[in-house]
Structure 1
Amino acid sequence: MTTTVRQAVLDLLRETGMTTVFGNPGSTEMPFLDRFPADFRYVLGLQEACVVGMADGFARATGRAAFVNLHSAAGVGHALGNVFTAWRNQAPLVITAGQQQRALLPNHPFLGAVEAASFPKPYVKFSIEPARAEDVPAAIAQAWQVAMQRPWGPTFVSVPADDWGAPCQPVIPRRVAPAMAPDPALLAEAAAALAGARNPVLVAGPEVDQEGAGPALVALAERLGAPVLTSPFAARIAFPEDHPLFAGFLPAAPQAVSDRLMRHDLVLVVGAPVFTFHVGGEAAIFRSAIPIWHFTTDAEAACAAPAGTSVLGALGLALPALTAALPAAPIGARRPLPAPRPRPAPPEPADPIPAEYLLHRLHHAMPAEAVLVEEAPSHRPAMQAQMPRVRWGSFFTMASGGLGYSLPGAVGIALAQPGTPVVCLIGDGSMMYAPQALWTAVQQGLNLTVIVINNGGYGAMRSFGQVLQVRDVPGIDLSGLDFVSLARGMGCPGVQVTRAADLDAALAEACAAPGPRLVEVVVDAAVPTLYHKS
């Protein structure tokens, strides 16, 4: 019954469906990669942060854990920014990293990681360097189980290089139920509160799409006849943005959130924290008598909520049960539907190109089935206005605020959904954090269109200069970057657009062409407003 650690791990990866390995190999990983099996796929990233971002996108798009193999010590350090993002994205990852041979570790060897399991903490759900070689397969099995428990997240196993050939027992297959049902008594209490509310509002977050609970949320909102807002910094679509009940996006500003929600007599938050803020201020709603009900899979977010009652449980179980617990009479019939959300007028073309015009034309150029992956923080309000997301699974961004995620994330999503066009909308500053991901897109022949919004600097920092009333901050302006040449240097065709008259043709060609394409659009450097009062 004995086998080797390597064979036991390969068998485990087959059993769990993790036969795509995202990696950047080094000497301490070579014993695992020796005679790489033909039924596995190795996806090479040229830097470890790219590797983790690609695995994150792959995991979020498939709903299954992705397997990552990093280089030891400094390689893990390179990856940590996107490990943090995976933690905030609730992306299920099993991250392994090489370690020097066990016999060398007491003498601080080259590539040896001191306290390797502590390196990625606290932004992994589980982290271990097994005490014995024969414990490695069971540790990776446990890491997979933990990664797939709600809320999903990354896990980490450090594996000394000489462990892979050691004898061990095979991993015994087992199952752990991933979903938890909500408390029936709290469900009944929440249903009674909703039934008695005259003017409730729903705030939906990224867990709704992640849990596949979108149709259940729509059914609940329609039963209540209540408006639905998207939570601040939602990293996925939270509600169809063409639905009559969709009321817009909450900003990450306490006073604006409070002002918007205090128009209502009950707030139901579904699949999001209560609330994610980016600037300081007072949120009077937390001191008001307005009840807040909070449905989530995330116990940490529930415990951190400053007000309200949190109900823990899988949204796919909780939302239908909540709807069923409401009175039989159609509650929404007692209140008028909210007024239609005003839509912005189509932007006018101009030179230099307004960012709003670019986003408006990109929305029309994208195939209806395309997935949008965004990392252009200063242009997010304009994107939300001009590019409504109406289909579940059609939008991804990072929940962490850390740049360097969305281009490799888009590569991972395109790998997960090879028949689906993917569009990555990215700022010029963001693009420079992980441009190496373009090379992987080319090597894999992915259907990926990259739109670089070039406003000559860190637009979000310019906006925050206005918010914080600071001036003359250094390091904000960027010049001399040639994104077309950068893309071509990695085998990706690219074109630069500087005139509105040339925009439609460039976007249409890029979205229709097979394989990866890059379009750099030089836009007006006007400073956008990130946070309105309400």
Structure 2
Amino acid sequence: MSSVREATLDVLRQCGMHRIFANPGSTEVAFLADLPDDLEFVLALHEGSVVGMATGHAIATGRPAFVNLHTTAGLGNAVGALATARVNRAPLVVVVGQQDRRHLALEPFLAGRLDGLAGAYPVWVNQPVLPQDVPAAVRRAWHEAVQHRGPAIVVVPMDDWSALVDPALGLAAPMTVRRAGSAPGPAADELAGLLDDAANPVVVVGAGADDRATWHALVSLVERLGAPVWQEAFGARAGFPQDHPRFAGHLPAGRSRLRSVLTGHDVALVVGTGAFRQYPYEPGPLVPDGLTVAVVSDDPDELHHSRADLAVLADPAALCAAVADRITSRRAAGEVVAAARPEPVDPPAPGEPMRARHVFAALAERLPRDVVLVEETPSTRPELHRLLPAREPRGFVSAAMGGLGFGLPAAAGLRMGDPTRPVVAVLGDGSSLYGIQGLWSAARYGCGALFVVLSNGRYAVMDRLADRAGGKAPWPAFDDVSVHGLAQALGCPARRVSDHADLLAVLDEVVPTLPDRIEPLLLDVPVRIERGFEP
């Protein structure tokens, strides 16, 4: 274990910031006392001079200079100079002291109301939620200052410096950020070299890769590289054709299982998402030892909160195509299927209730390749992924934030926005009730989507989480709510499916009409949900 201070000083060294420009106060003593000999303290007698000197240093070197300011008074005194630094396009990393976090709620003496104090002049401002996030925030401030050519501010409560961090966890910020721009040559060369040198690379894709150009580039890259492809956990859209032989499945959302999947790989190329999205929190390292992670995205925020050695800000399609052209083909070893295809699902026995897998299997046999599948069924999402792979770009859409109520109205909007593609929404009954009024609009404006509602009259995920926590859920079932009745009251045609045979008959009748359908339809399908659940 090392302290937050020691880890932050290491970040300063790694970023080449060996001078600390400051006019110190009491909230900075824990950071500055006993400064190591390889770091130079530069004193100025007023904060305007502190920032002015740092600005000149940054202009002369072309690299960010490091500034340490004293809570409200120090930052307030420096605002004019920070404005000058911003207009002069001088990159600065500014750490501002704050009172002890343990009694900030009481507004002790020298507690600063620092948010917004410098106005719009900083290019980025952050107060880390936890002490162990401080080193990563300082590294991100360095990248933000470089990218936006101005001062980036990190507010650090004084007691954070003595807190401990586990170096095995790594920093939630990339070591190196490249900006490929319109000419991805140098970045593509670097990534191609990294992949060519890898003994066992792996590719991870996310929602930011969900377009035809990126799919085409990734397929070319993966087929030359001979690597398995995993979809990010809780991805809102599919970043790769999920019926491709190299598609391995969806990454697990827990650290231990993620490490298990990635163990044995030495390089992970992550495209169109951060590295790595997780839920719920688990202690321990995020990735196995020895894994080099490179992230490619056109979203700078996605890059900056990644646990990565290399991050490249670029158009994923253009960069992946350039990398594919540069890497050495490994196809001589022959094609290997990365993951077994799903086993056939037997229909329910006579008198046995339907399960979600029976519904998904029936849809899988009937839905056209270009269907847009909208998902909001948290308790059965893993089975849906397994049985209903996305086969075309924009073939899978879900809520990126995880809040309920997105799927039903989004399906109507997707059909309205592109009436050339059939749209099917698969929803839990609990999820559907958050956006049920969207059916009125779907009917009113002729959005011919099919809404398949899996009805079990309860919040199954919440029940399972309560079971796992060993507690009794206080919320009741709502199996007295009629989803198809609500749909009909809102002017949307709806049918209650009685059993598996009825489901197959309805789908055989309705699915062929989806491409040209104007009138929406809701199917209320009773299912029994299994108790086990792994996100």
Match of 1:491 in 2: 491
Per-residue CA deviation, residues 259-296 of structure 1 (Å, 9 max, x unaligned), is 10112121111111111111121453546221111111
- Cα distance in 2, alignment partners of residues 323 and 510 from structure 1: 42
1:331 and 2:330 are equivalent in the alignment: yes
Question: Aligned residue for 2:228?
Answer: 227
SS of the residue corresponding to residue 284 of structure 1 reads coil
- Tell me which amino acid in the other structure corresponds to 2:331: G
Deviates more, 1:493-502 or 1:353-362: 493-502
Q: In the superposition, relative to structure 1, how do residues 516 and 371 fare at CA in structure 2: closer, same or farther (>3 Å)?
A: same
1:300 is matched with: 301
Give the corresponding residue for 2:311: 310
| Contact persistence 1:427–1:453 (CA under 8 A) | yes
Distance 1:476 1:345 in 2: 35
RMSD of the TM alignment (CA)? 2.3
Within-5 A mapping of 1:364-375: 364-375=365-376
One-letter amino acid matched to 1:315 = P
Describe the SS at the equivalent of 1:213.
Answer: helix
Is the counterpart of residue 195 in structure 1 residue 199 in structure 2? no
Q: Deviations 1:94-117 (Å, cap 9, x if unpaired)?
A: xxxxxxxxxxxxxxxxxxxxxxxx
Matches within 5 A, 1:420-499: 420-466=421-467, 468-475=468-475, 477-499=477-499
Which structure has more relative contact order (CA 8 Å, sep 6+)? It is: 1
Alignment CA distance shift 1:464-1:212 (3 Å): farther
Contact 2:212 2:393 in 1 (8 A): no
Alpha-carbon distance, 1:349 to partner: 1.7
Q: Is 1:347 matched with 2:351?
A: no
Shift of the 357–182 alpha-carbon distance from structure 1 to 2, 3 Å rule, reads: farther
Aligned to 2:25: none
Cα distance in structure 2, aligned partners of 1:483 and 1:278: 30
Q: In the TM superposition, what are the counterparts of 1:266-305 in structure 2 within 5 Å?
A: 266-282=267-283, 284=285, 286=287, 288-305=289-306
- Deviation of 1:528 (Å): 4.1
Q: Which amino acid aligns with 2:195?
A: L
Q: 1:399-418 maps to which residues of 2 (within 5 A)?
A: 399-418=400-419
Equivalent position SS for 1:222: helix
**Structure 1 SS opposite 2:491:** coil
Q: 1:370 and 1:307, CA in 2 relative to 1: closer, same or farther beyond 3 A?
A: closer
**What SS is found at the alignment partner of 2:269?**
strand
Q: Does 1:361 align with 2:362?
A: yes
Q: 2:430 and 2:480 mapped to 1: Cα distance?
A: 12
Aligned length: 353
Tell me: CA distance 1:256–1:476, structure 2 relative to 1, closer, same or farther (3 Å). Answer: farther
Cross-structure match for 1:84: none
The within-5 A match list for 1:33-182 is: 180-181=181-182
Q: 1:485 to 1:338 in 2, by over 3 A?
A: closer
* C-alpha contact 2:258 2:287 (8 A) present in aligned 1: no
Please say if residues 247 and 338 of structure 2, whose CA atoms lie closer than 8 Å, have aligned partners that are also in contact: no
Render the CA deviation track for 1:365-411: whole Å, top value 9, x for unaligned. 32333211111111111101111221122111111000011111111
Would the aligned equivalents of 1:359 and 1:383 in 2 still touch at CA under 8 Å?
yes
- TM-score scaled by structure 1? 0.63
Name structure 2 gaps, 5 residues minimum. 1-115, 117-179
For residues 180 and 438 of structure 1, do their structure 2 counterparts lie closer, same or farther at Cα, with a shift above 3 Å needed? farther
Percent identical pairs in the alignment equals: 32
Structure 1 residues 496 and 210: alpha-carbon distance in aligned structure 2, compared to 1, 3 A threshold: same
Aligned to 2:511: 511
Partner residue in 1 for 2:386: 385
Q: Which runs of 5+ in 1 are unaligned?
A: 1-117, 119-178
Shift in Å at residue 211 of structure 1?
7.3
Change (3 A) 1:220 1:346: same
Answer whether contact 1:456 1:525 (CA < 8 A) is retained. no
CA distance in 1, matches of 2:512, 2:251: 34
Three-state SS of the structure 1 residue aligned to 2:528 is coil
Pairwise CA distance, 1:230: 0.6
- Say if 1:262 and 1:509 are closer, same or farther in 2 by CA, change over 3 A: same
Cα distance in 1 for partners of 2:529, 2:336 equals 39
Instruction: Quote the residue 2:55 is aligned against.
Output: none
Q: Structure 2 matches for 1:228-243, cutoff 5 A?
A: 228-243=229-244
Following superposition, the deviation at residue 458 of structure 1 comes to: 0.9
Does the 8 Å CA contact 1:376/1:425 hold for their aligned counterparts? yes
Q: Distance in 1 between matches of 2:487 and 2:208?
A: 34
